[in-house]
């Protein structure tokens, strides 16, 4: 009898969770008036990773799975990724930093100055469109833009290296503007 009641409760909870329309729910629960649509693109962990604002700009909400986020000790890679952010995004065919990128990079610079023994490799990436050579050059310019900003914020040159992967190491795979936008990035990896 007891197991039948428990089974019935779990069955009702399961059916209730399946009954809702997720797209309607997502739009009803969205408190950000500037967000007009949400993507259905997910990363390899099944997490929805971006929204698009009223101007068509991608708002990144990627969870960073690159490091052990169970280790959030001050000065750790998890601390850097979780509290500071290790990546910035770029518009199509440009290496110019957006204001939101500058905000992240200022936090990176503050963190790097606080932990002077840490060095970093800045990777430049591009989306899959364009030739291999063009995207390698664009990735190099993106990595250099990040490095130059960090230098201007007071991080020592000897602590920063750059590397371009062009379109060779996509973070996400697929053919949509949302996915391409997430792949147009620079990632600051700690050594």
Q: Which residues pair with 122 in a beta bridge?
A: 162, 188
Tell me, yes or no, whether 5 lies in a domain.
Answer: no
Q: What is the pTM of this model?
A: 0.66
Domains identified in the chain, total number: 1
**Is 143 inside a domain boundary?**
yes
Listed as ranges, residues in the chain with pLDDT below 70 are 1-69
21 in a domain, yes or no? no
Is 167 within a domain? yes
In a domain, 71, yes or no: yes
Which pLDDT belongs to residue 71? 78
- Is 55 within a domain? yes
User: Could you report the per-residue pLDDT of 28-78, keeping only the tens digit for each?
Assistant: 333 443 333 344 444 443 434 444 444 444 444 443 445 566 778 899 998
Dihedral sign, CA of 140, 143, 149, 151?
A: negative
Is 66 a member of any domain?
yes
Q: What is the CATH number of the domain that holds 104?
A: 3.30.1330.60
Domain interval for residue 181: 35-190
């Amino acid at each position: 009898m007891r197991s039948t009641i428990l089974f019935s409760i779990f069955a009702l909870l399961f059916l209730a969770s399946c009954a809702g329309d997720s797209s309607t729910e997502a739009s009803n629960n969205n408190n950000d008036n500037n967000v007009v649509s949400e993507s259905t693109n997910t990363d390899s962990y099944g997490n929805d990773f971006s929204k698009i604002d009223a101007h068509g700009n991608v708002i990144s909400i990627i969870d960073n799975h690159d490091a052990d986020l169970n280790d959030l000790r001050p000065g750790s890679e998890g601390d850097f990724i979780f509290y500071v952010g290790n990546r910035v995004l770029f518009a199509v065919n440009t290496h110019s930093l957006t204001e939101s990128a500058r905000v992240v990079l200022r936090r990176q610079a503050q963190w790097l100055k606080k932990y002077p023994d840490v060095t970093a490799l800045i990777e430049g990436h591009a989306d899959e469109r364009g030739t291999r050579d063009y995207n390698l050059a664009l990735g190099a310019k993106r990595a250099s833009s990040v490095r130059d900003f960090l230098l201007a914020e007071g991080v020592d040159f000897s602590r920063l290296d750059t590397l371009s992967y062009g379109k060779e190491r996509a973070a996400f795979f697929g053919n949509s503007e949302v996915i391409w936008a997430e792949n147009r990035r620079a990632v600051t990896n700690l050594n």
